[in-house]
Structure 1
């Protein structure tokens, strides 16, 4: 029979062994998200964007996107994608911009952040507007409008819807959106937004023959001149050039030249070409030839430039993804090696444990057998003592009692009684000697 203490020991060793087996596969701690690095990359992308270094800006936004975990950093992920798509859009790569923006769609389905959705919807709407797909342009601009965003974004969506109607030459529809916006205090207090709305109203009035057109266009130009924003000044100069084209060719040519110069600084090829068209229509002689040749040169090179931009951004995206994949592959290999080393270590420890367990069990079994042998000997000695005690009690004590009784009751002077006494004493002696043996 195995002692209870030995059972307890076996149970403890079994629990330890089981826990050891469970730890054969090491737990790899989850990598902490490096949000600081992501924000650093985004900040660099913003800085280069502001300084019009779009290739560098694209590079860092792409790095930031790859560094993001979309589930953990949805806001940063969508922000990086929206900037990548915007850069492609500004370079005339509308299909590439659409493809990039669509990468954010799975995240938009799960996020509750309306600003993230607004950015992507607006980018997609502008891409469709530039590719004359007015149905989808209105679809995404209206989707942006339906979001619960701030006043700036709400008005931006309204303005984009109005622009789409203007491109469709539905100027009255555009005015029904733009005119109420001029009464909004948020628009009035925002010079950039206010000048944009006023400029668009002025253009609609020009197209519909409303004499108030010039007042709105000049008022918008005055605000934009104070703001010193070249992007907005370009459209004001261009719209004024259109306004003066029929009645004042000199003024039309002046504003067209200003529009061309600003768009050249901004590297906005589309406005440059449109400005050159106005210059050509309002010029003659050597100026006409110069503008015409310039137009032909730019028009011929625009496809090449845009294709180069496409290829450049595609290569940057490919190189970043490739580099990121290589880093992930090296990390996976490192983790695999660490896992293998850990498994080997655990295997060695388990072998040591099993050998130690076997030695311990062997030692306890040996101790148990020795202890059992001792207990057997003790039991044998005990049984012998009991048997001797029984003999002493049952046999010898009875003989001694009878002999003492004989001595007390009989006359020992008789030879016959002496013989009986001697026989009794001899019997007692014999029994004592047998017990002793």
Structure 2
């Protein structure tokens, strides 16, 4: 009886939290194809204006990689009505902050302003879309910025090229095989006309979604959106290419020498399906069960109990077309990478053979309930999630309902999906080892 009462109380609490976190929104499309999503939250006098473009590293010419990430920087250079170097000054002097980020699948720009500066935020994003100044001075300036970023984040950072090396080996046909930061040689070789053509092709209203979230007057906001974005011409529709990877049916090995490390790292990577699939969500649960944090099965066994590794963990990279489940570990002598791989395989085999315990299953559910609540706990998160669910998933309602998909997953599904994707013959084993060469400058 006591357990039943506790379960009922937990269910009621969860229902209350889920209900309180419901994100209300309104959506519509302008004549030029720009999709608009509005979310009114009167709780604080703050507003987020953001635009997500459906262009990422996967949309690049293989001989001109890094363009999407380059534009993340370049489109802050200025517009016909915002002089070079004035963008950030304009934002900060009006009490705001702003940023942008790029992935393989999309590019995202946003500003956070006091709500009385909503019109300014909308005008600035419309300027970025309609009147960007793309000239040789801006290209040369940002070329040096991107090179420095690559040096700091990858070339001179311990284990900084780990994910890049995994991607390069995991994908043969798909553009996921290169990193968003791309090749510096490609950027050096690119002409101004190539940058201008890339902008004209992808940074258009019918390849974007505008999200306005915060303390807003819906009627007034719609008027400003029409005023500033409605006159932007529709671009030529973007046709997305489809790239198919053949299933991995045989384990394969690769080696990468990193001049910035002294301790070798074991990396094991499995290719997984699109983040839009049910299997991808099951794999999310499996990833958390095996390797999320110090209470996970792999950490407790390999690091805490057997003291075979200094660290063990995973990165679950779910993307629009494919994903990767990447396990990594730092062996502790006398244990080797092979010893750790054997321990990992034993734990995966348990998941493939036996149902995980009810206790562990409930822990997973609780973890995802917490993540669901946190994902929509602030305006910036809500704005980006609204854009993401519309553009990459094709279903904005997932911002409220995706947790129900995770709750519908069974222990039996966890076992079957582990059998389907996490077998020794379906992976890359990457030996990420020290190099005797000096780190790059």
TM-score (norm 1): 0.23
* Higher RCO structure, 1 or 2 (CA under 8 Å, sep 6+): 2
Structure with more of its chain in strand, by fraction: 2
Name the one with the larger helix percent. Answer: 1
